[in-house]
Amino acid sequence: MKIKRIITLLGFDFYHSLFRLKGLAFLIPFTLFWYGTLRLLNQGGSEFLSSTEGLMLITRFTSLEVAQALLILHPPTLSVFLLTALTVTPLFVFLGANNQLASDAATGSFRYLLSRCTRLEIFFARFLSAYCMIAIAILFACLASTLISLDNDNHTLSETVAYATQSLFVILLYTFPYVAFMTIMSALMSSALGTILISACVYIASLVVIIYLHNDYPAINYLIPSAFKDDLIGITNNNLTVAIPGLLAITIIYLSLAWIIFRRRNL
């Protein structure tokens, strides 16, 4: 495996994804969604969230302690950004990472690459390219949230920047296993649409199984990355020491499964 070839492939795929359906199918809804959400926050949303009513609203999704930490100790705009981003991550990753391998494996376009690089290089380049596109989009959304937070929230610059960095790190970490999950589906399927549909079905089926079985088999929660969501929202170092290795372990397991499928696939 040559890193230089992975970087060349990654750069090519990333750049051209931005102008093709592959990337636009993610970037346009992502931009529209965050434009709408951040606009609401900028129009007084954060003020409302800092109030008692806002606190009550957030306690529907998390505990009072966490809600207080999110809306009073930290800048509320960034906390809402963090909560929203974690909630919509699966959806946007489904849109942004669905066509890592599927179409090109089905049409045979990989054949031109296979005489010049290995399957493993293609596999990693496509995974990283999809991840980079989503990560950069999240970075821009986070930057916009930070600017809005500086304008609206009553926190110092250093507090806001530190919390924004931490939030960004958490969201990017949470995105990793979802992109790897899409790599599995993309290695299995022959089209982008098929990958989205099967991914949604598998994800929903997993949620249903977990809901029914998690009392008897608590370990089953860790089949999907959302098991670590509470640890990430808590944002204390203690919680993160559990979440970071947990999410990385899920990512590695998902990627290994995807590689086993892709390695044997007839191209």
Partner 1 sequence: MMGKLIECQKLTKSFARIKAIDNVDLSVEPGQTLGLVGPNGAGKTTLFSLISGYIKPTSGQIRVLGHNPGTSLIKGRIGTLPQDTPFLQGISVQAQLSLYAKLQGYTGKAARAEVNQVLEHLKITDLARQYPETLSFGQRKRVSIAQTLIGKPELILLDEPTSGLDPVAANDVRKIIREMGSQCTFIISSHNLDEIDDVCTEVIIIKQGKLVKYCPISELVERDSSLNLLLSHSLPDQAEKDLNLISDIDGVMTDPANPHRVTISFNSENPDQLQLEIMSTVQKHNVSIIEFSRGETLTGKVVDLVKG
- The one segment of 74-82, 100-108, 168-176, 249-257 that binds partner 1 by CB under 8 A: 100-108
The b-or-e profile of 1-27 (16+ CB within 10 A means b, else e) is eeeebbeebbeebbeebeeeebbebbb
Nearer to partner 1, 5 or 214 (CB): 5
Site string for partner 1, 159-198 (x = CB under 8 A): ----------------------------------------
CB 187, min distance to partner 1, A: 15
- The one segment of 12-20, 70-78, 188-196, 253-261 that binds partner 1 by CB under 8 A: 12-20
3-state secondary structure 182-196: HHHHHHHCCCHHHHH
Determine, following the binding rule CB under 8 A, whether residue 2 of this chain makes contact with partner 1. Answer: yes
Which residue type occupies 263? R
Q: d(Cα 104, Cα 17) in Å, to the nearest integer?
A: 13
CB 258, min distance to partner 1, A: 17
Token readout for 83 is 């909560």
CB 254, min distance to partner 1, A: 23
- The one segment of 13-21, 46-54, 68-76, 225-233 that binds partner 1 by CB under 8 A: 13-21
Q: d(Cα 135, Cα 192) in Å, to the nearest integer?
A: 20
Distances, alpha carbon 265 to alpha carbons 110, 187, 188, 190, in Å: 12, 8, 8, 11
Determine, following the binding rule CB under 8 A, whether residue 267 of this chain makes contact with partner 1. Answer: yes
Tell me which DSSP letter residue 139 carries: H
Which positions from 225 through 254 interact with partner 1, judged by CB under 8 A?
none
- The one segment of 16-24, 147-155, 194-202, 218-226 that binds partner 1 by CB under 8 A: 16-24
Nearer to partner 1, 42 or 118 (CB): 118
Q: d(Cα 90, Cα 16) in Å, to the nearest integer?
A: 23
Distances, alpha carbon 5 to alpha carbons 8, 83, 117, 171, 262, in Å: 5, 37, 7, 28, 18
151, 133, 143, 147: which is closest to 167 by C-alpha?
143
Q: Which of 52, 115, 237, 238 binds partner 1 (CB under 8 A)?
A: 115
Determine, following the binding rule CB under 8 A, whether residue 266 of this chain makes contact with partner 1. Answer: yes
Nearer to partner 1, 105 or 171 (CB): 105
Q: d(Cα 150, Cα 161) in Å, to the nearest integer?
A: 9
- The one segment of 31-39, 113-121, 167-175, 213-221 that binds partner 1 by CB under 8 A: 113-121
Determine, following the binding rule CB under 8 A, whether residue 109 of this chain makes contact with partner 1. Answer: yes
The residues of the shown chain that bind partner 1, judged by CB under 8 A, are 1-2, 5, 8-9, 12, 16, 19-20, 104, 107-109, 111-119, 121, 264, 266-267
